[in-house]
């Protein structure tokens, strides 16, 4: 089979060593990008950490081991984690319906998905309060309950996974699914072993955003949760409390801890995503 030899020996892609490809123009672009990013993100972040460190290790430790603060952090992280899991499942399901199914009102649904993005969160809080508060017309009253935090997080983080998964799903070739089914895979197996690994990076990215957004939420839950210490008080409310008491070091300490938690979750999801999408 010598006819195949020249083609068989030629790899389609070859790894190149990473090396700078900056031209003067792109160098200028990079400079502007870094400056912009520094002004908006890096400097404020450093300021927060510096403020936290300024107070000394003891204040930092005392703040984050404070029982009330710890309860707030625990509620925030657990609720955000639970919401992230729900979003990973529901967001994928909604994206699936939007991409694969043709039904009346699909266009409307497509627009409605983005409402949590567009609505000021305090307005969202008002809506949630009137629907799920003490005078709930639905008979569901979660006001002043930890569940209210969960509900508010769910509302504001809904679009993230949907919007990340949707374009990937649209690009997915149906012949890959057909190939799997002609090889004997059931619909479920095809989804688990062929479709899901392709979607995992998008689901992970959407989940990371959704977690980070949840952790930082304030407006949507502040009305419904009642901000009861040890019960419904979340970290953002706690930070505001510290700021109002002129205890900036404590506020910065909690903020720094939140930052570390969010960052670890994002890294964790990325690692998870790499493993799942390679396994199949």
Q: In 3D, which of 172, 164, 170 has the Cα closest to residue 203?
A: 164
Q: What is the Cα–Cα distance from 131 to 137, expressed in whole angstroms?
A: 6
Using the minimum distance from each CB to other proteins, give the nearer residue, 74 or 193.
193
Structure tokens at 272: 């998870």
Residue 3 binds to other proteins (criterion: CB under 8 A) = yes
Q: What is the Cα–Cα distance from 85 to 164, expressed in whole angstroms?
A: 15
Using the minimum distance from each CB to other proteins, give the nearer residue, 123 or 271.
271
Residue 4 binds to other proteins (criterion: CB under 8 A) = yes
Residue with tokens 């984690």: 81
Number of residues in contact with other proteins, rule: CB under 8 A?
29
Q: What is the Cα–Cα distance from 205 to 267, expressed in whole angstroms?
A: 10
Residue 10 binds to other proteins (criterion: CB under 8 A) = yes
Binding mask 153-192 for other proteins (x = CB under 8 A): --------------------x-xx-xxxxxxxxx--x---
How far apart are CB 210 and other proteins at their closest, in Å? Answer: 23
How far apart are CB 277 and other proteins at their closest, in Å? Answer: 5
Q: Among 95, 113, 154, 194, indicate the residue that binds other proteins (CB under 8 A).
A: 194
Structure tokens at 196: 């899901």
How far apart are CB 186 and other proteins at their closest, in Å? Answer: 7
Contact 157, 150 (CB under 8 A): no
How far apart are CB 73 and other proteins at their closest, in Å? Answer: 36
Q: What is the Cα–Cα distance from 187 to 181, expressed in whole angstroms?
A: 7
Q: In 3D, which of 260, 259, 261, 239 has the Cα closest to residue 250?
A: 239
Structure tokens at 112: 């409605």
Using the minimum distance from each CB to other proteins, give the nearer residue, 12 or 111.
12
Structure tokens at 160: 């993230």
Residue 102 binds to other proteins (criterion: CB under 8 A) = no
Residues that bind other proteins (CB under 8 A): 1, 3-4, 7-8, 10-13, 173, 175-176, 178-186, 189, 193-194, 197-198, 277-278, 280
């Amino acid at each position: 089979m010598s006819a195949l030899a020249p083609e068989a020996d030629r790899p389609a892609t070859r790894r190149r060593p990473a090396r700078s490809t900056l031209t003067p123009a792109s160098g200028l672009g990079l400079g502007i990008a870094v400056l912009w990013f520094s002004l908006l993100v890096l400097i404020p972040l450093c300021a927060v950490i510096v403020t936290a460190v300024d107070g000394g290790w003891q204040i930092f430790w005392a703040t984050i081991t404070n029982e009330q603060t710890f309860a707030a952090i625990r509620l925030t992280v657990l609720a955000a984690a639970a919401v992230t899991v729900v979003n990973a499942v529901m967001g994928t399901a909604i994206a699936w319906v939007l991409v694969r199914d043709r039904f009346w009102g699909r266009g409307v649904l497509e627009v409605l998905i983005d409402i949590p993005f567009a609505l000021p969160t305090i307005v969202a809080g008002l809506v949630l309060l009137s629907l799920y508060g003490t005078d709930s017309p639905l008979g569901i009253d979660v006001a002043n309950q930890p569940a209210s935090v969960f509900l508010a997080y769910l509302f504001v983080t809904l679009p993230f996974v949907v919007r990340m998964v949707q374009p990937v799903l649209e690009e997915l070739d149906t012949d890959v699914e057909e190939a799997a089914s002609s090889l004997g895979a059931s619909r479920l197996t095809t989804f688990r072993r062929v479709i899901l690994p392709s979607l995992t990076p998008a689901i992970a990215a959407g989940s990371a955003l959704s977690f980070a957004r949840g952790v930082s939420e304030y407006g949507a839950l502040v009305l419904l949760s009642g901000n009861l210490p040890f019960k419904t008080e979340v970290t953002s409310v706690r930070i505001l409390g510290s700021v109002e008491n002129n205890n900036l070091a404590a506020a910065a300490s909690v903020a720094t801890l939140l930052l570390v938690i969010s960052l670890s979750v994002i890294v964790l999801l990325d690692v998870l995503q790499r493993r799942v999408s390679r396994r199949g």
